[in-house]
Amino acid sequence: MTEPLLRRLHARGERLTVGALPWVAPVYRAMPQVADVIVFPFAHGGLQWTARRAMAASLRGRFDAAYVCPNSLKSALIPWWAGIPKRVGYSGESRLLLLNPRLPSPPKGERPPMVAFYSALSDQADVVDDRPQLQLDPLLQAAALQELGLSEQGYYVFAPGAEYGPAKRWPPGHFASLAAQLNLPVVLLGSGKEGALCAEIATQAEALGAKTVLDFSGRTSLDQALAVIAEAKAMVSNDSGLMHVAAAFGTPQVAVFGSSSPLHTPPLSDQAQVIWLKNDASYQPALDCAPCFQRQCPLGHTRCLTDITPERVRGLLE
């Protein structure tokens, strides 16, 4: 979702280096406008002062400007310690002295879609196309598919995970039922933490008569996962990072939304179709509780997801 921002900066002549955590770095390497990617060796959570100061020291004198996309305090520390003169970001979380200039953070409930939120850091408002775009090296892409035993357009991808929590995940039984209704192999993608979820889907799908279900959860690098998504016939996912990857490749996709909102984080692609019962006038009783943005359903029923049938999703894929 930061790619349109980077495209704007590149178009006006800025040479871009992105600092990213290891599990994000491959996505930035698939952006042609990015000249270099620095992998930050930080663990998730915690300030890790010593490691951040050491990284800042190695960057001192190398950059004229920094665009700080996350809203956290720790994300603004390195540009400040590195002495980068211009440090652009949104105000918030005690960052008053760390950023210059600072953009006012939109009030809660009034934040624009995330792509527009990030793109505003460029201080440009006259860019027409804000759809994220990714591009892989064709030779590396072909090699990844060959290594995994896949053929171009010869499979569907399911991404059943959602890091935020169960209230964003379409039920595993629905994914399994859909897999059994399709006439091509299904590839399950996800992190190692989603291994149990994908294994459950694979077991149920095979019991329902699915032809071929390949569980690649925790078994591919992110580079391989990008290649698999780019060459799929179509992808089905929740509101997740891989959903945005599919949109950036222009892969046909169906995105299932539950507790979150496609008004905030939509898949920005002409090939994307969204199912969200909140804005479905034919769905009754109406979902007055959505979007709740909770990790677990506060009401315990998760109707926003369970009532989206596999048959409905299949109808959008064919």
**pLDDT tens string 259-314:** 999 998 999 999 999 999 999 999 999 999 999 999 999 999 999 999 999 999 99
For residues 121-147, give the mean pLDDT. 87
Q: Give pLDDT, residue 163.
A: 84
Tell me what the mean pLDDT of segment 118-126 comes to. 84
- The verdict on residue 136 lying in a domain is no
Residues 103 and 196 in one domain: no
pLDDT of residue 125: 64
> Is 70 exceeded by the pLDDT of residue 72?
yes
Same domain, 160 and 305: yes
Domain assignment present for 138:
no
**Is the pLDDT higher at 128 or at 231?**
231
Whether 231 maps to a domain, the answer reads yes
Shared domain check, 188 and 112? no
Would you say residue 137 lies in a domain?
no
Closest to 205 measured CA to CA, from 176, 168, 241:
176
pTM score, two decimals? 0.88
The pLDDT of residue 126 is 60
Q: Do 98 and 208 belong to one domain?
A: no
Q: Would you say residue 159 lies in a domain?
A: yes
- Whether residues 16 and 154 share a domain: the answer is no
pLDDT, average across residues 139-143: 94
Pair (78, 43) in one structural domain = yes
Domain that includes residue 18, residue range:
3-122
Specify if 127 maps to a domain.
no
Residue 18 has pLDDT above 60, yes or no: yes
Q: Give the contacts of 240 (CB within 8 A, at least 6 positions apart).
A: 159, 161, 162, 163, 168
The pLDDT value recorded for residue 92 is 82
Residues 87 and 154 in one domain: no
Q: Average pLDDT in the 175-196 region?
A: 96
- Residue 118 has a pLDDT of 93
Count of structural domains, the chain = 2
Residue 127 confidence (pLDDT): 56
Same domain, yes or no, for 160 and 108? no
Q: Is residue 259 part of a domain?
A: yes
Q: Do 153 and 294 lie in a common domain?
A: yes
- Do 165 and 293 fall into the same domain? yes
The pLDDT-based confidence of 4 (bands split at 50, 70, 90) is: very high
- 141 belongs to a structural domain: no
Model confidence at 60: pLDDT above 80: yes
Name the average pLDDT for the chain: 94
The answer to whether residues 155 and 271 belong to one domain is: yes
pLDDT score at 106 = 87
What is the CATH number for 52? 3.40.50.2000
Q: Is the pLDDT score of 93 beyond 80?
A: no
Average pLDDT over residues 15-25: 94
